[in-house]
Amino acid sequence: MCGIVGYVGFRPAPEFLIDGLRRLEYRGYDSAGIAVQHCDEIGIRKRAGRVEELAKLVEANPVEGSVGIGHTRWATHGETTDINSHPHVGGNGEVVIVHNGVIENYVKLREQLQTLGYVFRTTTDSEIIAHMICHYWLEQIKLGEDPESHETCLKAIQLSVARFKGTYGVVAIFRDIPDVIFAARMGSPLVIGIGKIRNEHFIASDASPFVGYTNEVVYINDHEIAVITADRMDLHHQESGKTTPSIHTLDQVSSDIDLGDFEHYMLKEIFEQPEAIENCLRGRIDEESATARFGGLNLTPRELRQIDRIIFTACGTSWHAGLVGEYLFEEFARIPTEVEYASELRYRNPPMSEDTMVFAITQSGETADTLAAMRECKRKGHKSMAICNVVGSTIAREADGGIYLHAGPEIGVASTKAFTSQVTALTLLALYFGRIRDLSYPAGKRIIKMLRAMPELIQQTLACNDHVRDVAERYFGFNNYLYMGRLYNFPVALEGALKLKEISYIHAEGYPAAEMKHGPIALVDEQTPSVFVVPHGGIYPKVMSNLEEVKARRGPVIAIACEGDHRISDLADEVIFVPDVEEFLQPLVTSIPLQLLSYHVAVLRGCNVDRPRNLAKSVTVE
């Protein structure tokens, strides 16, 4: 949550800062601002609203300079106003900062700084960072330190962050120390981009602003502070001193983050799912042994056979993917499997044997609760793996091993291709764990054959888009929805309801279809559509009975059904057909029309599909 950018080099800083904030706006879009240093002045422009509002302000009232920082906000403390927008100023303008995260003890620190004479202009927790750094910088000067020395500034930041409780990614510039940016991290991601053409450095919350500028990056770790100038970059650990940075290479290209011919990123990413699934499968199928192969688990088959319990931990959409994984692992690998909300697991103390393996599932690799839950499990000695989309993210780097999804950047706040890629990765994992246990060779070959067909089948599924749009036109005016599914399609029902809530602001709930008569059926009326996920399978007749119960109460029914199902057309008001696949693969096709339905309903209601209110893509705070 919140996006940070920074630049020091030879280019006009505002140009990169505004462009970078546009690319990071999915991280927060309540307000935006930049601070640009020129000689001994720092020009600040900030405004509530979208980055485009800031761009208009900067165009009308320009700032000049080749050093600057910027921020796009997702509010945690303080209302969305111009004054609460970042950047924030410390002291009498000596320090300017941008901040991502939450300072949990800000009330106490604010009171102490007010006692010292510091005047607060905002109601944010972030402003105390600027004042605290300014305070310690002035204290160092009183002790005889050189006010223009980088070491003096570094010491002030070290003393300041030592007092903060919570999470922070902080980037700071000093009015009287030109051509240098300071950055500190604890729990909130920061990445440095290394300029290759001429001396310059970039910094951001993630690497997307660097595309087209550089493909070499350094990930700042927790407790590290970076001192960045145009021609060099030094990292200092809070306790152990100067460290040697590790340089990584990005493989993103500009087309990954461009809209192309699509109106919204969400629609683009829905239609990228065949390619995303193919990328997830690529290089991971071992035909000869009828199994999957992974290079990043870092455990031998013998060690993996000793695992007697699996825990998937995640939040939101990733949690729903984990529910599908639970069914997969118990069916194919015969391993007891549980799915835990990361926000709950991190504060619980469940009994876990030493042979329990934990998988943290996350698109961004930075989700605060998932990271904390994984760290807690690692602390207790459990093997902890990651299923992650973002290379070099914190969870990916800290896990004992894991799998990258290779789905490509996901910009839309509502996750689509990451969900189906996670389900694909979990299917491969279930196959792998099954084959090192009791799953037969012919069964493995059969699963592989069906997995290989999925990209084409998903492409066929996307052909329902026009029909889904027609359905949306008839139903976008309703304000309550129920979603029903069973077994593998129960998590799909949950995910479909979440998508509708996220981007159209319609109240929607997902349930196992058989649980409907234990309460939710009381909600059924002519103004409450029920979306039934009812493909062919062993309990098809049971779900059809649940559907008929809704029809008997005059509830409108939208059904997701298999091609060739003639019975469903006589019962449901609307039917969206998907290819007929095995039950364990059904979430890959049944989730797609639900994604499209949410998208088209939201568009028809005039909602901002890619940037829904109150949400952000990367949730880096509790």
CB 448 within 8 A of CB 612: no
182: left (phi over 0), alpha (psi -120 to 50) or beta: beta
User: Judging by beta carbons within 10 Å of its beta carbon (0-12, 13-18, 19+), is residue 40 exposed, middle or buried?
Assistant: exposed
Query: With the C-alpha atoms ordered 211, 217, 222, 227, is the resulting torsion angle positive or negative?
Result: negative
46 in active site:
no
Query: How far is the C-alpha of 576 from the C-alpha of 566, rounded, in Å?
Result: 12
Peptide linkage before 87 cis (omega within 30 of 0): yes
Contact residues for 306 (Cβ-Cβ < 8 A; gap 6+): 355
**Nearest alpha carbon to residue 98 among 42, 150, 165:** 42
CB 180 within 8 A of CB 171: no
Structure tokens at 229: 């100038």
501 in active site:
no
**Nearest alpha carbon to residue 32 among 77, 69, 78, 76:** 69
Query: How far is the C-alpha of 291 from the C-alpha of 431, rounded, in Å?
Result: 6
Longest dimension (CA), the chain: 86
Q: Which residues pair with 313 in a beta bridge?
A: 340, 360
Query: How far is the C-alpha of 96 from the C-alpha of 89, rounded, in Å?
Result: 5
Query: How far is the C-alpha of 191 from the C-alpha of 217, rounded, in Å?
Result: 7
Query: What is the per-residue DSSP string for 113-159?
Result: HHHTTPPP-SS-STHHHHHHHHHHHHHHHHTT--TT-HHHHHHHHHH
Query: 86 by DSSP, 3-state: which?
Result: coil
Query: How far is the C-alpha of 325 from the C-alpha of 361, rounded, in Å?
Result: 10
Structure tokens at 498: 């979440």
Alpha-helix residue ranges (DSSP H) falling in 282-367: 301-305, 316-328, 342-345
Count how many Cα atoms sit within 13 Å of the Cα of residue 501 in the half-sphere of its side chain: 17
Question: Which of 383, 417, 501, 617 is labelled catalytic?
Answer: 617
440, amino acid identity: S
Q: Which residues pair with 42 in a beta bridge?
A: 37
Query: How far is the C-alpha of 224 from the C-alpha of 165, rounded, in Å?
Result: 15
User: In this structure, how many other beta carbons lie within 10 angstroms of the beta carbon of residue 377?
Assistant: 25
User: In this structure, how many other beta carbons lie within 10 angstroms of the beta carbon of residue 60?
Assistant: 8
Question: Which of 2, 315, 464, 562 is labelled catalytic?
Answer: 2
Query: How far is the C-alpha of 360 from the C-alpha of 524, rounded, in Å?
Result: 37
Structure tokens at 95: 């320090």
Known catalytic residues are 2, 617
